[in-house]
C-alpha cells in the first residue's frame, strides 16, 4: 500500500504541473484515495497499539 500511496502522490503532482496532460486518475480523486489509505494506516496502527482493556484511557489522556 505504500507504493500505491506513492503513485497517488505522483499523480497529484502531475495534475498540478501546467502543460502536463495527466488524466489517469485526476488530482482530486488521487487526493481522496491518498487520504482514505492514510486513514486506514492510522487506524491500523492505533488498533495494534491500544488493543488491551484500559488502553483507551492512555490514548485520551491529555497530560494536563
Which set of grid coordinates corresponds to residue 45?
496502527
Q: CB within 8 A of 34, min separation 6: which ones?
A: 5, 8, 9, 12
DSSP state of 61: -
Residue 14's pLDDT is what?
82
Mean pLDDT, each 10-residue run in order, the chain (64 residues) = 82 81 74 87 80 69 56
Task: Tell if the pTM clears 0.75, that is, is over it.
Answer: no
Amino acid at each position: 500500500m505504500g507504493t500505491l500511496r506513492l503513485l497517488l502522490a505522483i499523480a497529484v503532482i502531475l495534475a498540478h504541473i501546467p502543460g502536463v496532460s495527466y488524466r489517469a486518475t485526476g488530482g482530486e480523486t488521487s487526493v481522496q484515495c491518498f487520504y482514505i489509505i492514510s486513514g486506514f494506516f492510522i487506524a491500523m496502527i492505533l488498533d495494534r497499539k491500544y488493543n488491551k482493556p484500559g488502553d483507551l484511557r492512555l490514548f485520551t489522556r491529555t497530560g494536563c
